[in-house]
Amino acid sequence: MGRKFSDITFTPSVKAAQEYYGSRDYNQPFEDMDEPVNTLGEAETAFICERDGFYQATVNEDGWPYVQFRGGPAGFLTVLDERTIAYPDFRGNVQYISVGNMGVSDRVSLILMDYANRRRLKIWARARIVHAADEPDLLARLALPGYRARVERAVVMTIEAVDWNCPMHITPRFTEAEIGAMTAPLRERIVELEQQIQYASGETP
């Protein structure tokens, strides 16, 4: 069963830091929430399906965290149901640090970013590695026709908690597609003005 994110993150040492820096009262309402936020609603599902990458944290047996960026076509991180997400794990530099860490601890944390709109979704989950030989139907469901990458396995995550983070200090950044959409009216206007100049000068368009 999932939990409120504060149940996972507000450890005694974190609460002590909140007390020290004077934010304990501000954070108390997160603990007083009646219902755990551990399922994906329409907003979370849509946000996840639009992402083309995310940051994933795992921990090894010595307690060292490892953060890796996972990228792919938009929607490669798939929502299987309101408590389960999964992605095809593409072949990379064959160090297998995240995969190895998941073999020691199934605890993972994800941060999904929308830099253009300054939005950030945090997810805490339990991960398991799935190979095609064990669950071929799942790997087929996660397949990405047309994307040239070798899928070595799938990572399936059961959500424990989710939380939308504040936009403070998120520097807006834009993808090539986002810039193209924003500048499309300007490019159309340029073409229109060029045609007007050609017409006025008697040139044939």
**pLDDT digit string, tens, across residues 146-197:** 898 889 999 999 999 999 988 889 999 998 989 999 999 999 999 999 999 9
Instruction: Name the DSSP class of 123.
Output: E
Say if residue 137 is in the same domain as residue 59.
yes
20 neighbors 27 (Cβ within 8 angstroms): no
Same domain, 190 and 110: no
Note whether 142 and 204 are same-domain residues: no
Note down the domain range covering 16. Answer: 9-34
Q: Does residue 1 lie in a domain region?
A: no
Asked if residue 108 belongs to a domain, the reply is: yes
**113 shares a domain with 23:** no
Q: Are residues 136 and 43 in the same domain?
A: yes
For residue 76, name the pLDDT band (cuts at 50, 70, 90): very high
Is residue 3 domain-resident? no
What integer is the mean pLDDT of 76-94?
94
Does residue 146 share a domain with residue 98? yes
CATH code at 126?
2.30.110.10
Q: Are residues 180 and 163 in the same domain?
A: no
- Residue 33 makes CB contacts below 8 A (sequence gap 6+) with 4, 6
pLDDT of residue 2: 45
Whether the per-residue pLDDT at 27 is higher than 70: the answer is yes
What integer is the mean pLDDT of 97-121? 96
For residue 113, pLDDT beyond 70: yes
Nearest residue to 161 via CA among 30, 55, 26, 14: 30
- Which is higher by pLDDT, 31 or 88? 88
Confidence class of residue 204 from pLDDT cuts 50, 70 and 90? low
Same domain (yes/no): 51, 127:
yes
The reply to whether 29 and 41 lie within a common domain is no
Q: Are residues 25 and 87 in the same domain?
A: no
Residues 116 and 178 in one domain: no
Compute the average pLDDT of residues 114-124. Answer: 95
CA separation for the pair 127, 158 (Å, rounded)? 6
- Edge to edge, what strands does the sheet with 78-81 contain? 65-71, 53-59, 107-114, 119-130, 151-165, 84-90, 78-81
Q: Count up the domains in the chain and report the number.
A: 3
Are residues 87 and 186 both part of a single domain? no
In a domain, 105, yes or no: yes
Residue 102 — very low, low, confident or very high, per pLDDT cuts 50/70/90?
A: very high
What pLDDT is attached to residue 3?
Answer: 60
